[in-house]
Amino acid sequence: MRYMKIKNENIFKFLECLKSYGTLYAPKKISDKSYDFRKVEDVHEVVFNYDRTILPPRQFFYPPKESLFEFNKELVEMYEIFDNKGPVVLFGVHSCDIVGLRIMDSNFIDDEPDPYYQRRREQGIIIGISCLPDEYCFCNVRRTEFVDKGFDLYFSEVPDGYVIRVGSIKGHKLIDPHLNLFEEVSDKDIEELSLFDKKKKKMFTVEGNWDSLRYYLELKGKIPLWIRESEKCLGCGNCTITCPTCRCYDIRDYPNLDSITGIRVRTWDSCQFRSHGLVAGDHNFRETKESRFKNRYMCKNAYCKQVTTSYCVGCGRCTRFCPANINFKKNLMEINGDL
C-alpha cells in the first residue's frame, strides 16, 4: 500500500482540489449534537472530528427516493430513467461506514446488479477518516474498526496532520496531480499512528468479538428481552433509515394526470413497518411488533459472506437516534451474556 502524509495547513487546499472531481460532500455540524454529510461550499466548515452523521453514506448511491422508469400504460412500455448528478466525492467516512458500503455492494452489485446503484457507486470517490469511539460505538467487536479496502484514500490522524493510505487507482489519481501538498511519512508519524491506535483501543466499552452472538440470538429466541424491548418500540423505522447497511426498498407507480404516463419510483422501506411482510389476502409474515423487532436483530447480526462480517457494523446510529431509547448495543450485550 502507498502511504503519504498531509499537513494540517495543506488539508483545506486539498479539499478545495477535491471539488474538481465531483460534488464534494463532507460531515458538517448541523445542530448542537448532530452532524450530517452535506454539500461542501466552504471547505472550512468541514468537521474532521465528528461522532457520527445522521444519515449513512449509502444515501449518495442509493437515494431515499428515486425514479426508475417512466411508463406508458397504453403501450405497456417502460423507459429507464437515471437521475445522474455526476460523481460524488465523499470525504470523512468512518471505517464502519466504509464496511457498510461494502455490504451494500455485496447486495446490489452481484450477478444481477442494480444498475442505478452500480452507476453511482462506480463513479463515486470515498475518502475515509480515522475516528475515536464514543459510548454508542462497538465497531471493534464487529471487526470494522479497521478497513483495508473499500476506500480510495484513508486519512489517519496524527498530531500535525494525517497519514494517508491509498486504497485504489482512483486514489493514486487524486494524489498525483497535487504532490506538492503531500510529503513522505516520517518515523515519528508511524510512532504517533500506533499511539493513536492504542488510545482508540482503550476507549471502547466492549471487548473481544461478537462472532458467536448470532448463535445466541437464534438460541435465545424466547427470552423476555424480546417482549420487554419491543413493547418500547414505536415502529418508526428510524433505526433502519439511519443504518448504513439497511437496504429494503419499496416500489410504487405514480401515474400522471393524463392517467396514461407516469413514473415508477423506489423509496427506502423499513422492516419495522407493518406493511413490510404483508402479502395478498392480508396475510402478514411478521404480524406482531415483536416479530418485526426480532427480524431486525436477526438480519443485522447474520453473517455477510462476501464481506466476512455481520450486517451490523457497530456504528451505534440505531441506539443514538432511537426516539424510544432502545439500546441496541446493550440488548446485544445482554444476549451475548456480557452484562
Partner 1 sequence: MTIRKPQIIPDAKDNVYDTHKCRLLRVYHITEMDKLFLFRFEDQDKAANWQFKPGQFVEVSLPGIGEAPISICSSAMRKGFFELCIRKAGRVTTKIHELERGEIVGIRGPYGNGFPMEKFWDKDLLLVAAGLGMAPLRSVFLYALDNRWRFGNITIINSAKYCNELLFVRELEALRDIAEAENIKIVQTVTRDTNCTGLRGRADEHLEKVNVDPQNCGVALCGPPRMYKTMFEKLVALNYDPRNIFVTLERRMKCGVGKCGHCNLGNSTSWKYACKDGPVFDYYDIISTPGMLE
Interface residues with partner 1 (CB under 8 A) are 67-73, 76-84, 107-108, 110, 112-115, 214-215, 217-218, 221, 247-253, 255, 259, 262, 264, 269, 271, 276-281, 285, 291, 295, 298-299, 301-305, 311
How far apart, in whole angstroms, are the C-alpha atoms of residue 188 and residue 173?
27
Q: Least distance in Å: CB of 213 to partner 1?
A: 9
CB of 195 to partner 1, least distance (A): 38
CA distance 324 to 339: 21
Give the shortest CB-90-to-partner 1 separation in angstroms. 21
Q: Which is nearer to partner 1, 34 or 67 (CB)?
A: 67
Phi, psi (deg, nearest 5) at residue 217: -60, -45
- Closer residue to partner 1, CB minimum distance, 28 or 296: 296
- Cβ 277 to partner 1, closest distance in Å? 6
Tell me the CA distances in angstroms from 217 to 19, 30, 273, 321, one per residue in order: 45, 37, 22, 23
Amino acid at residue number 173: K
SS3 call for 188: helix
Q: How many residues does the chain have?
A: 339
Asked if residue 135 lies in contact with residue 320, where contact means CB atoms within 8 angstroms, the answer is: no
Q: Using the minimum distance from each CB to partner 1, give the nearer residue, 140 or 301.
A: 301
CB of 224 to partner 1, least distance (A): 18
The type of residue at 254 is Y
Pairing verdict, β 278-279 and 261-268: unpaired
The CB-of-37 to partner 1 minimum distance in angstroms stands at 20
**Closer of 144 and 245 to partner 1 (Cβ):** 245
The least distance separating partner 1 from the CB of residue 172, rounded to whole angstroms, comes to: 30
Contacts of 70 (CB under 8 A, 6+ apart): 78, 79, 81, 261, 262, 263, 264
State the minimum distance, in angstroms, from the CB of residue 108 to partner 1. 6
What distance in Å separates the CA atoms of residue 290 and residue 19, rounded to the nearest whole number? Answer: 46
Label the pairing between strands 261-268 and 65-72. antiparallel
Residue number, 132 or 251, with CB nearest to partner 1: 251
Distance, in Å, from the CA atom of 153 to the CA atom of 39, rounded to the nearest integer, reads: 19
DSSP for residue 305: T
Residue whose CB is less far from partner 1, 107 or 327: 107
C-alpha R_g of the chain: 22
If the CB atoms of residues 259 and 325 are measured against partner 1, the closer one turns out to be 259
Question: Toward partner 1, which CB reaches closer, 130 or 310?
Answer: 310
- Nearest one of 201, 36, 57 to 132, comparing CA atoms: 201
Q: Given its phi and psi angles, is residue 86 left (phi above 0), alpha (psi -120 to 50 degrees) or beta?
A: left
Q: Between residues 70 and 157, which has the closer beta carbon with respect to partner 1?
A: 70
Residue with cell 498525483: 176
Closest separation between CB of residue 198 and partner 1, Å?
Answer: 33
